[in-house]
Amino acid sequence: MTPEPAWRLPPRWVLLVAVVLIGFAEVGGASMARFKVELTRWARDAMLARPEVHGLVGVRDVDERVLDEALVKFDAGLRLFHMHAEGMGLVIVATTTVAATLGGAGRGLMVALLTAGGAGYPLGYLLWSGLIPYYGVEPGKRMAEWLVWIPFGGATILALWWLAGLVALRMARR
C-alpha cells in the first residue's frame, strides 16, 4: 500500500509571520482587558479634543451618545483585530502548507499573497480603531477599507481561489 504523501512545510519566515500574528492577537486580547480603562480614556480625550470631527455640540445629552457610539466602535475594532488575527494566523499556516505542497510553479507567489494578505488584513481593524478618535467612525472605516481590507483581503481571496483551482485541476488529471 502506498503511504500518503507528506505535507511540505512553507518557508520558515511564513511560519514566523503566522506565529507572530497569533502572538499579537493574544497580546491584543489581553491588552484590551488589562488597559480597557486607559484605552477608553485616551480615545475619549482625543475625541473631545476634536469636537468638529465628531460633530460634538457642547450639550451633554447630545454629545454623550455620539461619544458612546464612537467608543463602542473603537472597542469593536480592537475586538475584531483580536479575532481576525487569531484566525488568520491559522489560515496562513494551513493554506501556505497546501500551497507549498501542491502549488506547482506559482507556489512562491501564492505563498507570498497568502502570507501578506493574511497578516495584513487584521491590521485594518487596528488601524480603524486608531483612526476613529482623529477622523471619526466612517472616515476612519473608509481609510482602513481602501488602505488595508480591500488590498490585503483581496490578495488572500485571490490566492485561495487560485490554489483551490490548482488542486481541483490536479485531481481532475489523476
User: Which residues contribute to the site for other proteins (CB under 8 A)?
Assistant: 1, 3-7, 55, 57, 59, 61-62, 64-66, 68-69, 72-73, 76-77, 80, 87, 90-91, 94-95, 98, 101-102, 125, 128, 135, 139, 141-147, 149, 153-154, 156-157, 160-161, 163-164, 167-168, 170-171, 174
Cell for 82? 483580536
Q: For residues 117 and 110, is the Cβ–Cβ distance under 8 A? A: no
What's the min distance (Å) between Cβ of 46 and other proteins? 18
What's the min distance (Å) between Cβ of 70 and other proteins? 9
What's the min distance (Å) between Cβ of 49 and other proteins? 19
Nearest to other proteins of 55, 108 (CB atom) = 55
Between CA 38 and CA 92 the distance in angstroms is 32
Q: For residues 86 and 25, is the Cβ–Cβ distance under 8 A? A: yes
What's the min distance (Å) between Cβ of 30 and other proteins? 21
| Residues 100, 103, 106, 111, CA torsion sign | negative
Residue 83: Cβ-neighbour burial (10 angstroms; 0-12, 13-18, 19+): middle
Nearest to other proteins of 33, 60 (CB atom) = 60
